[in-house]
Structure 1
Amino acid sequence: MVSLGTLLTFAFVSLGMVCSPGPNMIYLLSRSISQGRTAGFISLLGVVLGFFVYVIATMLGLSALFVTVPYVYEAIKWAGALYLLWLAWNAVKPGAGSILQPRPLAVEPPKKLFLMGFMTNLLNPKIAILYVSLLPQFVDPDKGSVLLQSATLGLIQIAVSFTVNLMIVLVASRIADWFGMRPTWLRLQRWIMAGVLTGLAARLAFDRR
């Protein structure tokens, strides 16, 4: 059974992940602004389905793979750390844009919105690398079923991600307008995100489990 301390720590890490810039946030923000909250919410449901795919994959195979072939975990760990650092650099490099600067999108029907949200998350390299790199660090075989622990942590991650992304969908226009009129805060947001990303990269790089 996962301890309360582990759950809270993992929830905080998940919060850092969902608040860091990436395809999911950019897509949901842009979709909600260009087509409205309903379209953003339908897209979010597709994103959530993508998370469930990663949870199931983690439960059924990735943990066993890491135990059998530890070098696979090492490779994923360093790839995840390097990718986080790359995202951090892209957030603050000269001429970088902010995730709060929406991209124009064409109006799409609900079915396509759901599918696009699903594929955006499923093919998101940040989620693909970080999900399999971070979650196993919080699983302890000495505390019971690895399968149950992975499922519990996965549901925590989905709950945190859904809550934050739902807030983004609901207030997307206000967020974009507020930051658009305050360029200093927009730059600060980029540096905060870069700091979060760098911290997560350091956690991965120095993990010895």
Structure 2
Amino acid sequence: MLTATLAFAGVAAIINITPGLDTLLVLRTSMAHGRAGGTAAALGILTGCLAWGVATAIGLTAVLTASRFAYDVLRIGGAVYLACLGASALWRARRPDLRQETGQEADAVPPTPQDRWAAFRAGLGTNLLNPKAGLFYMSLIPQFIPQGAPVFGTTLLLTAIDLVELALWYWIVSYAASALGERIRRPSFRRRLEQFSGVAFLGFAANLALHDRA
């Protein structure tokens, strides 16, 4: 059991630190709203991962492979949601800013409760509406469950390990990104960040919409 657990922790760590949608979301939110915003986004993602882990433990994620309709509905819904996030980021990048015109730097603005809630919702939505996240848990975790081990309890244990690793990784990303955001407060930088994030979100949306399950 210990060997399987350590092996899973190593594989999951490599996958977790690979740049992807969730890391981009935490990075962008941390640079825009500081560590509080990045933490809120990370909590949303972790909540989604927990939900997928529990669903895997009780067998619900098997529906994604057994039913093409269920998979496609979730896939299209996720693509639309990501497209909305991308369009919203590009729209914010177009908004005029007087400080940009005068060459002044933007002051750091602490995130409001609404900002934190929006970041949490974004993290939760991008995770729960991504069927590939469910397939990740369903395809990876069972490979590390030793023969004879209780499936439900072992699945929850491996899910907990994955969540701890993700929390640590997002803390590092959020800390570094928020520190950089504090140093670079120019409106032009924030505008470029929104533009990059918007294009990236649209790219993830297209990838999710156009790619069938493997």
TM bucket, shorter chain: 0.5 to 0.7
Which whole-Å deviations, capped at 9, do the CAs of 1:71-94 have from their partners, x for residues lacking one?
A: 011000001011111101111113
CA distance in 2, matches of 1:96, 1:158: 41
Indicate the residue corresponding to 2:75 in structure 1.
77
Q: How many residues align?
A: 184
Indicate the residue corresponding to 1:62 in structure 2.
60
Indicate the residue corresponding to 1:136 in structure 2.
135
Give the % identical residues: 13
Residue 66 of structure 1 contacts residue 72 of structure 1 at CA under 8 Å; is this kept in 2? yes
Indicate the residue corresponding to 2:102 in structure 1.
none
CA distance in 1, matches of 2:87, 2:53: 29
Q: Give the TM-score of the pair, scaled to structure 1.
A: 0.59
Indicate the residue corresponding to 1:18 in structure 2.
23
Q: Quote how far apart the aligned CAs of 1:104 are.
A: 3.5
Higher Rg of the two aligned structures: 2
Say if 2:182 is the partner of 1:177: yes
CA distance in 1, matches of 2:174, 2:127: 18
- The 1:154/1:128 distance shift into structure 2, 3 A limit, reads farther
Say if 2:95 is the partner of 1:104: no
* Structural RMSD (CA): 4.8
Residue 127 of structure 2 contacts residue 133 of structure 2 at CA under 8 Å; is this kept in 1? no
CA distance in 1, matches of 2:53, 2:29: 17
Q: Quote how far apart the aligned CAs of 1:183 are.
A: 2.1
Q: Quote how far apart the aligned CAs of 1:202 are.
A: 2.0
What is the identity, as a one-letter code, of the residue corresponding to 2:207?
R
Aligned mate of 2:209, from 192, 205, 209: 205
Aligned mate of 1:196, from 191, 196, 200: 200
CA distance in 2, matches of 1:19, 1:12: 11
Q: Give the TM-score of the pair, scaled to structure 2.
A: 0.58
Residue 52 of structure 2 contacts residue 137 of structure 2 at CA under 8 Å; is this kept in 1? no
- The 1:197/1:23 distance shift into structure 2, 3 A limit, reads closer
Question: SS at 1:12's partner residue?
Answer: coil
Residue 79 of structure 2 contacts residue 206 of structure 2 at CA under 8 Å; is this kept in 1? yes
Q: Quote how far apart the aligned CAs of 1:199 are.
A: 2.2
What is the identity, as a one-letter code, of the residue corresponding to 1:185?
F
